[in-house]
């Protein structure tokens, strides 16, 4: 399970982001000031940091500079309240992997987090051309989906679940497999979560989601995708 640190002094924003990222299957820690953020980064391993620029204690730029000096290569997405180009460039020159300007949508956040983590893991995307499943055309490489040319909103996790099933099409995939392979084992994610994701995916790709023809439930075990 991938671990994200949010360094953000706006408490409400920090915990809102934490909740939403956790729903996407990440493990999330929050630091509410710069010193705490820096300390956490030097003590624990993270797969990604969302680093606010303006922070009490130590600025996001300072934190980034210091951890890079220590040889810490954790991917960093800088978050800034200013749309100032200089801030952006400065962040990237200091070794940030990406930046976001507040306010940003969850959709944008998920897409960037996903992209940075994907670059980081260097895991090759095996499916490079869009595939058609049910009424949906899915581009796994770009995390997009459409129906009759109209874009269909899907979360990165929904796309990943669908991709996992597609790569094992016509085979039964157990809930446990989905949990451990797509989410990574985590006791806070239950098989109910998997079922909820399947439900949402079906609503987007089945002609009639009440009578699914493409993601079939295998009772007591899991699911099977039939293209
Ligand atoms: Ca701030």
83-123 pLDDT tens trace: 655 566 565 667 787 888 888 999 989 998 988 888 766 54
**What is the pTM assigned to this prediction?**
0.54
Say if residue 103 is preceded by a cis peptide, omega within 30 of 0: yes
Q: Which long-range contacts (CB under 8 A, 24 or more apart) does 217-220 make?
A: 218/172
**Chain-centre distance of CA 148, in angstroms?**
26
For residue 51 the two structure tokens come to 């680093």
Q: What is the CA radius of gyration of the chain?
A: 19
pLDDT computed for residue 90 by the predictor: 63
**Chain-centre distance of CA 152, in angstroms?**
18
How much distance in Å is there from the Cα of 9 to the middle of ligand 1?
5
How much distance in Å is there from the Cα of 91 to the middle of ligand 1?
15
How much distance in Å is there from the Cα of 54 to the middle of ligand 1?
4
How much distance in Å is there from the Cα of 13 to the middle of ligand 1?
10
Which domains, from first to last, does the chain contain? Answer: 3-121 (3.40.50.2300), 131-225 (1.10.10.10)
Pairing of strands 222-225, 150-151: unpaired
Q: What CA–CA distance (Å, rounded) separates 197 from 193?
A: 6
Percent above pLDDT 90 for the chain: 47
pLDDT computed for residue 125 by the predictor: 43
- Per-residue pLDDT in tens (0 to 9) along the chain, 227 residues: 899 999 999 999 999 999 999 999 999 999 999 999 999 999 998 999 999 998 999 999 899 989 888 878 788 998 988 665 556 656 566 778 788 888 899 998 999 898 888 876 654 445 567 889 999 999 988 888 999 889 998 888 889 899 999 988 888 999 888 887 887 756 567 778 889 889 999 999 999 999 999 999 999 899 999 98
How much distance in Å is there from the Cα of 22 to the middle of ligand 1?
21
pLDDT computed for residue 55 by the predictor: 93
Tell me which DSSP letter residue 179 carries. I
How much distance in Å is there from the Cα of 132 to the middle of ligand 1?
43
């Amino acid at each position: 399970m991938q671990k994200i640190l949010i360094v953000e002094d706006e408490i409400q924003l920090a915990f809102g982001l934490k909740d939403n990222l956790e729903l996407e299957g990440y493990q999330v820690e929050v630091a509410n000031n710069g010193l705490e953020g820096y300390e956490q980064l030097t003590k624990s391993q993270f797969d990604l940091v969302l680093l606010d620029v303006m922070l009490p204690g130590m600025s996001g730029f300072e934190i980034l500079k210091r951890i890079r000096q220590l040889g810490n290569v954790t991917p960093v997405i800088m978050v800034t309240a200013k749309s100032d180009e200089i801030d952006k460039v400065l962040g990237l020159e200091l070794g940030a992997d990406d930046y976001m300007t507040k306010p940003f949508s969850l959709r944008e956040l998920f897409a960037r987090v996903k992209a940075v983590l994907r670059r980081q893991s260097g895991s090759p995307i095996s499916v490079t051309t869009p595939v058609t499943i049910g009424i949906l055309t899915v581009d796994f490489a770009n995390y997009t989906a459409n129906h009759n040319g109209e874009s269909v909103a899907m979360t990165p996790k929904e796309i990943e679940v669908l991709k996992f099933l597609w790569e094992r099409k016509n085979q039964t995939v157990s809930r446990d497999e989905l949990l451990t392979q797509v989410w990574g084992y985590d006791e806070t994610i239950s098989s109910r979560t998997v079922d909820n994701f399947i439900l949402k995916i079906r609503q987007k790709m089945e002609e009639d989601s009440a009578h699914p023809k493409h993601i079939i439930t295998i009772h007591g075990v899991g699911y099977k995708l039939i293209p």
